[in-house]
Chain A
Amino acid sequence: MTDMGIRESRPDNLVLSPVKQSGLGDQMKRGLDAPICLTWELTYACNLQCVHCLSSSGRRDPRELSTAEAEAVIDELQRMQVFYINIGGGEPTIRPDFWHLVEYAVDHDVGVKFSTNGSRIDADVAAKLAEMDYVDVQISIDGSDAETNDHVRGEGSFATAVQAMEHLHDAGFGEFKISVVMTRHNIPQVDEFKAMADHYGAQLRLTRFRPSGRGADSWHELHPTDQQQRELYQWLLDRPDVLTGDSFFHLSALGEALPGLNLCGAGRVVCLIDPLGDVYACPFVLHDEFLAGSVRDEGGFQKVWQESDLFLELREPQSAGACASCGHFDACQGGCMAAKFFTGIPLDGPDPECVLGHGEPLVEAADRQARPVGADHSRSAPVAFLGRK
């Protein structure tokens, strides 16, 4: 009965440590009746064109869910007791009904955290947000200075994000989140990011760069070096208050486990609803192979979550494959399914960024041409990766 222990968690981080003794990890692997971490991308439209965009956003898709359809999804999430959702895109605030849908969700007991590049957070919007309960804002940046940031996210985007932070701060919003995808260029700036978050009374959230969407093209140039991974691991261990969305669990193989679930939650506790209502196993696997169904299907989201073949399969015990003989498998679980998939590594192989170096040769061996490519919603001109000046 000691096992009954309560495990508390910041929703953002799923802090359930120590999971190993608790057996909670095994329960999570078998899946829950409803997701804990649901991301909903409201639109593919975006005013930026980040080189690493996981959903290859740019243009709106005419088949995106209507307001009524989106409301019906929220009604369903309320019935399933999905307590909060992460809204993203694209740039979600571009949808004309964005504020309506946020209010609709909150009124139906579904809390909202939305990710934005900050372009629509002016003083008025910040004031409005400060008054709303159950709404959390996450501003995305990729560098602690304009040069590093704009190199990835486009000219002027750093100034835009900082202005949004100023507005939120001035409006007394409280603890918003500053979210950074960790790349080779910005890992040296982690201390500056932390200082920036502290300055605004914000919470810092650092997440892993995965080779999804447009990120697949820039992954080879942007993913952290082995040395950087080790530094980041130590830095995170020393700062348990920095959120990570549980995304660096492959680094737990370096020693002590990072706080979090330390398992791939895809289809078990995590999923994604895309702008068309298609349901994928996780935000980083927008590919037919991980498409479970659509909220437009009969039975809606609930049926997809609880009964789709794909999700039921993901909840079956997975083979440790090539990692079976590794002493760190308990901590690392073979890493991220999405990262393996888009670098051409078999799903039961090691993570491309395996800290023991087992991933690298496999990435090199994978035929670049044969690597899977996700759906592309970029604006017509392909986004060229800008060489670092």
Chain B
Amino acid sequence: MTFDATTAYRLHDRVALRPEPFGALAYHYGNRRLNFLRAPELVALVESLDGHDSVRAAFDAAEIDQRRWPSFEKALASLAASDFLVTA
């Protein structure tokens, strides 16, 4: 399934985030994969996704500069591709 920023996503139930100086380490207990979230803003955003109707609404709420949306969407798409994010 391709990533769609106009719909709602949330972290998979079996994913845990561990804060690190560069952002966070994410571990998926289900598929045993490890991911590196390499920006503190990305970590905050990922954690906030659950409360929003769409990814873009979460961007808005987090006051992320529109010019940075594409790089955030790219990062989120790759998280969704490995099942770290699921549609809400």
Size of B's binding interface in residues, CB under 8 A: 26
Report if A3-B16 is in contact (Cβ < 8 Å); known contacts: A8-B78, A10-B33: no
Across the interface, which residues of A come within 8 angstroms of B38, CB to CB? 3-7, 22, 24, 27
Cβ contacts A106-119/B at 8 Å (1 or 0 each): 00010100000000
Across the interface, which residues of B come within 8 angstroms of A27, CB to CB? 21-22, 38
Binding site for B on A (CB under 8 A): 1-11, 14, 16, 22, 24, 27, 30, 32-34, 36, 81, 83-84, 109, 111, 133-134, 136
Considering only CB atoms, which chain B residue lies closest to A31 in the complex? B21
Across the interface, which residues of B come within 8 angstroms of A3, CB to CB? 38
Instruction: Pick the contact of B35: A7, A34, A81, A84 (CB < 8 A).
Output: A7
B42: CB under 8 A from chain A? Answer: yes
Across the interface, which residues of B come within 8 angstroms of A111, CB to CB? 29, 32
Report if A81-B16 is in contact (Cβ < 8 Å); known contacts: A2-B71, A4-B75, A33-B21: yes
A217 to B76, CA, bound (A): 50
A2 to B75, CA, bound (A): 9
Shortest C-beta distance, A175 to chain B (Å), equals: 10
A81 to B75, CA, bound (A): 23
B51: CB under 8 A from chain A? Answer: no
Report if A6-B21 is in contact (Cβ < 8 Å); known contacts: A1-B68, A134-B29: no
B36 and A6: CB pair below 8 A?
yes
Instruction: Pick the contact of A34: B18, B32, B74 (CB < 8 A).
Output: B18
Report if A9-B71 is in contact (Cβ < 8 Å); known contacts: A32-B20, A33-B19, A134-B29: no
Shortest C-beta distance, A226 to chain B (Å), equals: 34
B75 and A9: CB pair below 8 A?
no
Considering only CB atoms, which chain A residue lies closest to B82 in the complex? A8
B33 and A8: CB pair below 8 A?
yes
Across the interface, which residues of B come within 8 angstroms of A5, CB to CB? 38, 74-75, 78
Instruction: Pick the contact of B25: A4, A10, A22, A36 (CB < 8 A).
Output: A36
Across the interface, which residues of B come within 8 angstroms of A10, CB to CB? 32-34
Shortest C-beta distance, A292 to chain B (Å), equals: 20
A24 and B71: CB pair below 8 A?
no
> Among A1, A5, A16, A109, which residue has the most Cβ atoms of chain B within 10 A?
A1
Across the interface, which residues of A come within 8 angstroms of B27, CB to CB? 11, 83-84
Shortest C-beta distance, A8 to chain B (Å), equals: 5
A4 to B76, CA, bound (A): 10
Instruction: Pick the contact of B36: A2, A16, A30 (CB < 8 A).
Output: A16
Across the interface, which residues of B come within 8 angstroms of A136, CB to CB? 32
A83 and B72: CB pair below 8 A?
no
> Which residues in chain B, 57-79, are within 8 Å of chain A measured between CB atoms?
68, 71-72, 74-75, 78-79
- List 8 extra interface pairs beyond A27-B21, A27-B38, A134-B29, CB under 8 A: A2-B71, A4-B39, A6-B35, A6-B38, A8-B78, A9-B33, A81-B18, A81-B25
B37: CB under 8 A from chain A? Answer: yes
Closest 6 CB pairs of A and B: A83-B27, A81-B18, A1-B71, A4-B39, A9-B34, A6-B78
A11 and B37: CB pair below 8 A?
no
Across the interface, which residues of B come within 8 angstroms of A7, CB to CB? 35-36, 38
B20 and A83: CB pair below 8 A?
no
A8 to B34, CA, bound (A): 6
B35 and A8: CB pair below 8 A?
yes
